[in-house]
Amino acid sequence: MSYRWELLLWLWLAFFFNQADRQVFSVVLPSIRSDLGLSYFQLGLVSSVFTAVLAVMVPVAGFLGDICSRKAIVVVSLLAWSLATLCTGFGATLLYLVAVRGTATAAGEAFFAPSAFAMLSAEHRQTRARALSLFQTAVYTGLIASGWMGGAIAGRWGWRAAFWVFGGSGMLLSLISFFRLRDSRSPEPRRRKAVRETLAAILSTPTARFAALGSGAMIFVNVGYLAWMPTYIYERFGVSLAKAGLASMLFHHLFAFLGVTIGGGLSDHWASRRPQVRLEMQGLALLAGSPFLYFLGSARSEGLLYAALAGFGFFRGLFDSNTYPAFYSVIAPRYHASASGLLIAFAFLVASLAPLLLARARMTVGLAGGFSALSLVYLAGAALLMWGAYRHFLADWKVVNGAAV
């Protein structure tokens, strides 16, 4: 096996654990609540702190990935979040979970993706699209496996064992990665890009602002779904943790994969004739996905709930397929990397409120009412994206196109 494909293998496995470790907390949340006597609001706080820390650290990770050893960042990141995941299994208080799960695990995970994507891009110059597409499948696989394996392990040996198994496996992988990975070098000199300059480029571009707001709406809903859907299925239908974890992840992410595949091809085909189509597709994806969010809360049977998860997943994938192509359409190429980090940071800072707000909703209208209310967030995001597409896009696109020429 050539090194570039071996690199993909080890990074894929690391990305698998990155996503699985991130989701396992939500999968075993009912068991944690029962064992430690914590409220849903307190557990929602842990998830919100996690998302906020992730948002704050991602731009830092992207900056360091351009000026430091990417191999070192990847290996240390994998070791750090895996150790924090393992230590989460020893938790007994809210403060401990906030510090170890909400802060340490999130900070470790934030540093992985920017350097991992850069390493793959540097090694796969002729096979870049194929390699990055295969790498992305680790997200869906990790979330599905976390739902299934995390619930099964917790049901058999307790919730602590789920963190020990996932965390210990990641630590072993970090040791292998230390010996097998090489520190790839970019063919271009690594440059320090001013955050202030990038931020000014985004804020001075109306379409970019609307695209960021639309992404914030989508990520807000997605973080809320990931945090509470396993618990919702577990409590509403009285199924096992293993079944609730698997069902909450499987249907959504299988159809998200389908949506990503279809959406990317369609937008590439139409964008040459209608440049704003990428932003329009994002708006239409949120509009079409909003009824499925409403049905998440109103479904009376498991079958209807799973159908709603599938529809929600498909249109989420359609949205995802256009996130960076739409954003890059109105941002000059020299700002793409740093602008991506700021876009992610903004979206996840907004989304950090979702677990807490759904926890509060559970005490008033229930999780069913909370999930149905998320459809309003999708509708607001759709309106913002459509306004940006029709009111500002062409003018902003012409500025960037002229600069590129």
CA-CA distances (angstroms) from residue 44 to 49, 56, 246? 9, 19, 21
What is the pLDDT confidence band of residue 1, given thresholds at 50, 70 and 90? low
CATH of the domain at 211: 1.20.1250.20
Residue 338 domain boundaries: 195-405
DSSP-derived letter for residue 300 is -
Render pLDDT for 66-111 as a digit per residue (tens, 0 to 9).
Answer: 678 889 999 999 999 999 999 999 999 999 999 999 999 999 999 9
- pTM for the whole thing? 0.83
Q: Which two tokens stand for residue 404?
A: 């590129």
Q: Which of 123, 149, 182 is the last residue of a domain?
A: 182
- Does residue 187 belong to any structural domain of this protein? no
- Cα–Cα distance between 247 and 233 in angstroms, integer? 8
Q: Do 78 and 210 sit in the same domain of this protein?
A: no
DSSP state of 84: H
pLDDT value of position 258: 87
Q: How many domains does the chain have?
A: 2
Give the residue among 281, 264, 275, 398 at the shortest CA–CA distance from 332: 398
Residues 276 and 389 sit within 8 Å (Cβ to Cβ): yes
**Beta strands of 47-144 (E only): which ranges?**
none
Shared domain check, 8 and 81 = yes
- For 21, the token pair is 């470790």
Last-in-domain residue among 156, 182, 208: 182
Q: Kindly state whether residues 173 and 261 are assigned to the same domain.
A: no
Q: Is 189 domain-assigned? A: no
Looking at the fold, whether 208 and 82 belong to one and the same domain comes out as no
Same domain, 204 and 173: no
Task: Let me know if residue 231 belongs to a domain.
Answer: yes
pLDDT value of position 186:
47
Residues 85 and 222 in one domain: no
User: In terms of pLDDT, which residue wins out, 326 or 152?
Assistant: 152
Domain boundary (147, 182, 217) is at: 182
* Burial state string for 280-302 with b = 16 or more CB within 10 A and e = fewer than 16: bbbbbbbbbbbbbbbbbbebeee
Assess whether 153 and 209 both reside in one domain: no
H or E element that contains 346: helix 336-351
- Overall size of the chain counted in residues: 405
In a domain, 9, yes or no: yes
| Whether 249 and 284 share a structural domain | yes
Helix (H, G, I), strand (E, B) or coil at 192: coil
